[in-house]
Amino acid sequence: MSIVKEQTPAPTADGSEVGEIVNEFSIQVATVNGSGSQSANNVLMRAIFHMGVPVSGKNLFPSNIAGLPTWFTIRASAKGFIGRKKEIDILVAMNRQTVRQDVESVEPGGIVLYEEKLKASQFRDDLIYFPIPFSALAREIVEDSRLRKLVTNMVYVGSLAEVLGIPMAQVRRGIEDWFKKKPKAVQLNVRAAELGSEYVAENFQRDSRFRLRQMDKTKGKIIIDGNSASAMGCLFAGVSVLTWYPITPSSSMAETLASYLNRFRIDPETGKATYAVVQAEDELAAIGMTLGAGWAGARAMTTTSGPGISLMAEFAGFGYFAEIPCVIFDVQRVGPSTGLPTRTSQGDIFSLYFLSHGDTRHLVLLPANMTECFDMAWQAFDLAEEFQQPVFVASDLDLGMNNWMADPFEYPQGKLNRGKVLDKEELERIGEFARYKDIEGDGIPCRTLPGTEHPLAAYFTRGSGHDESAAYTESPEAYTRLMDRLSRKHETAKTRIPQPVVELPQGAEIGVIAFGSTHWAIEESLLQLKREYATELGYLRVRALPLTGHVKEFVERYDRVYVVEQNRDGQLAGLIRMEIPENAGRILKILHYDGLPIDARFVTDQIADAEGLEKE
């Protein structure tokens, strides 16, 4: 590994050099929270995206408004891997508090662009350094100190563009995308980026180790965060009542959806809204309102994260027993209260599936990518109304708040499924109505909406104690019948929820099961295991709860099945063992729970170690 010192970058030769790494690396930007680096990082990511190079962006931010360290990681991957890559190849160091730690985290031979004053080069001598007076450069064009802080960030974008070979035109396009309606801001930021780029061109010889080159792999693709994707799914689900209480990392879903509704769901003739958004006083009220609206016949939803889910527990069970449709989005984060609320986790699986008191099992959808964040959002509403129960959609902070590349979403197929709702005419035709009677044997009864003008329509909604006609009862037989019918309904739901995605390579002897955002690490890890250890594994990705027969079939194929998830106790593994106790011994756990998104190398190392695999 060539060791290159400060101010004396390695001389470069023309053409594709030995050791040159093209379109396959990660960049980490270390800044201070509240310094406005978000715009700069997004511009950088979009510039790479516009070069046709697959890219993803992850924001690692503190639970703080200003002052604490924050990191943004951009991964460019010609091969299309957009999960987290732990190894950092290129660092932009802007934060004095963390500069030592940041420099230490870079892979040997990596590149460091840093604010000159931070003297980052003192910590290691196996990296290539670019000391740049970012803030001094920004001072040349901006007087105001607050604005200068923001513009300073765009200077590093320009510098990095010059180092990596991002054409200025793409940077400009990224800036125009971001500051859409503000021509003044565009002008200023373009100037800042140019300054950064010129400084590098004048003061350093280009390093050739990491290069970005134009490709065509992002043509027609979108780059989006999961919360926006889900919000869009809700818009096309025809949601009409959104209730929410702010909590990271779910707030941006509600806020984005509210803005879409405001744009696209105002009746053009009257200027009136075909939706309502209610910011509730807490999550108990949020789910209460959602259930009230669902009961009255609206497509209703709420968004939250773990602490909110805990508060919703009583009502969730009520909704299950009283059979009221609604959709609850849980953008999962790390555990309770203060500390790591801005870090990712898959730790709500148990609580979601069983949320409430008594015998309760919910339907839980588990999106793993942007397309599923969109699709499962609208599907959740169809399922909720078809099965007349709360449906949970569980993504996580990594999916919800980070930027991912995807194919454009497809318009929902078919009509809205409003479920078995009897209106006045239908009641007249049938001549009878019993709210909780299973007529078709699928466990799903018929309902009526309040306001239906028919003497048969009314019924009384309550929790556990009701018979088929919704009359109050404490009869043991009636309760048992109710519980058994709800089980029947759950069985029916197994055939209607998203089924697992299964890959069964020939000759594989072991399997992996994962769900949600863990998918990206698995997909990349499977290739690493194949390339490095000549080992192939079967892979099943769970896309919803309850678990279906596919899981049992899959587990029975293999001697050992690793369940990989981002929580400490192996919650999905626990559910699988519970469902197929006869195979519990084959289920092994690989668990990642430090609050950062899981990465492929972690999975590969764990499996190689557990299996005693030898490198090829």
Partner 1 sequence: MSSTVKSSGNVNQLGLAMADYKGARSTLCAGCGHDAISSQISRTFFEMGVNPYRVAKMSGIGCSSKTPAYFLGRSHGFNSVHGRMPSVATGAVVANRNLICLGVSGDGDTASIGLGQFCHMLRRNIPMVYVLENNGVYGLTKGQFSATSEMGARLRGGAVNDLPAIDICKLAIEMGCSYVARSFAADPRQVVPLLKGALSHNGTAVIDILSPCVTFNDHDESSRSYSWGKEHEELLHQIDFIPHFEQLPEIDYAEGEMQQVELHDGSVIQLRKVEKDYDPTNNAHAFKMLRETREAHEFLTGLIYIDPSASSFIDRLNLVDDPLALLDEKQLRPGPEVLDQLMEEFM
Residue numbers 254-273 binding partner 1 by CB under 8 A:
260, 264-265, 267, 270-273
Strand partners, 132: 115
Q: Mapping DSSP to helix (H, G, I), strand (E, B) and coil, where does residue 283 land?
A: helix
Establish if 471 lies at the interface with partner 1 (CB under 8 A). yes
Which residue is it, tokens 């859409």? Answer: 180
Dmax over CA atoms of the chain, in Å, equals: 89
Least CB distance to partner 1 at residue 555 (A)? 38
Burial letters for 465-479: b for 16+ Cβ neighbours within 10 Å, e otherwise? Answer: ebbbebeebeeeebe
Least CB distance to partner 1 at residue 466 (A)? 10
Between 35 and 464, name the residue whose CB sits nearer to partner 1: 464
Applying the rule CB under 8 A, the residues between 430 and 459 that interact with partner 1 are 448-455, 457-459
Q: Are 231 and 253 in contact (CB under 8 A)?
A: yes
Contacts of 255 (CB under 8 A, 6+ apart): none
Between 120 and 280, name the residue whose CB sits nearer to partner 1: 280
Strand partners, 278: 243
Binding residue (CB under 8 A) for partner 1 from 44, 289, 334, 399: 289
Q: What angle do CA 554, 363, 307 make, to 5 degrees?
A: 115
Binding residue (CB under 8 A) for partner 1 from 299, 343, 589, 592: 299
Q: How far apart are CA 530 and CA 536, in angstroms?
A: 6
Least CB distance to partner 1 at residue 447 (A)? 10
Using DSSP bridges, classify how beta strands 544-545 and 363-365 pair: parallel, antiparallel or unpaired. antiparallel
C-beta neighbour count of 521 within 10 angstroms = 26
Q: Which two tokens stand for residue 73?
A: 């990681």
Between 264 and 310, name the residue whose CB sits nearer to partner 1: 264
Establish if 290 lies at the interface with partner 1 (CB under 8 A). yes
Least CB distance to partner 1 at residue 81 (A)? 20
As to burial, measured by CB atoms within 10 angstroms (0-12 exposed, 13-18 middle, 19+ buried), residue 419 is middle
Establish if 428 lies at the interface with partner 1 (CB under 8 A). no
Closest among 293, 278, 286 to 310, alpha carbons compared: 286
Applying the rule CB under 8 A, the residues between 407 and 426 that interact with partner 1 are 408-409, 411-412, 415-416
Binding residue (CB under 8 A) for partner 1 from 29, 127, 193, 298: 298
Q: How far apart are CA 565 and CA 23, in angstroms?
A: 29
Least CB distance to partner 1 at residue 204 (A)? 34
Q: How far apart are CA 62 and CA 68, in angstroms?
A: 6
Applying the rule CB under 8 A, the residues between 184 and 243 that interact with partner 1 are 220-224, 228, 232, 235-241, 243
Binding mask 356-395 for partner 1 (x = CB under 8 A): ----------------------------------------
Applying the rule CB under 8 A, the residues between 5 and 44 that interact with partner 1 are none
Number of residues that bind partner 1 (CB under 8 A): 73
Please choose, out of 115-123, 292-300, 592-600, 602-610, the segment that lies near partner 1 by the rule CB under 8 A.
Answer: 292-300
Please choose, out of 12-20, 21-29, 313-321, 569-577, the segment that lies near partner 1 by the rule CB under 8 A.
Answer: 313-321
Least CB distance to partner 1 at residue 429 (A)? 18
